[in-house]
Amino acid sequence: MFSYLYEWIMNIAFYMVMVTAVLHVVPNSDYKRYIRFFTGMVLAVMLTDPFLRIFGVGNLWQNLYKSPEYQKQVEKMEEAAQYLNGTGDVTKEELENIRQRQEDGTIAGDGASIGVDEIKIGR
C-alpha cells in the first residue's frame, strides 16, 4: 500500500516538474493558457487514480481498448485512412460503387443525399 502511495506521489511530482519546464520553454504566453488547461485536466485524472482503484474502476480505461467494439472501430478508421491516402487496395467493384454513389448524390451508402439548388460566388 505504501509503495503504491509513494509511487503515486512520485508520479505527480515528476509530472509537475515536467509541466513547469514546458511552461518555461514556451515563448508565447497565449499558448500557456491552453497548456495549463490541458495539464490541469491530466493532473485531475492523476489525482483521482487512487479513488478509482478503490472503487474498482481503475482498469476500466485499459479494458476499453481491448474490447472488440473498439478494435472494430479502429480497423474501420484505418481502412478509411488508407482509402483517403490512396494507399488502400480498392477493387474495380468498389470504385464503380463509389462512382455510382457520386452520380446519385448518395453519401456513405445510407440513402442520405445532398441537393444544391443554386451556388453564388461573391456578392
The contacts of residue 26 (CB under 8 Å, 6+ apart) are: 32, 35
Say which amino acid occupies 4: Y
Distance CA 43, CA 32 (A): 16
pLDDT of residue 107: 47
pLDDT in tens, 5-24: 889 899 999 999 999 999 89
pLDDT in tens, 34-73: 889 999 999 998 898 888 777 777 677 677 777 888 888 8
pLDDT of residue 43: 94
Q: What is the DSSP letter of 102?
A: H
Least reliable range by pLDDT among 30-34, 39-43, 87-91: 87-91
SS3 113: strand
> Cα-Cα-Cα-Cα dihedral of 71, 73, 79, 82, to 10°?
-100
- Strand 112-113 to 106-107 pairing: antiparallel
**Average predicted confidence (pLDDT) for the chain:** 79
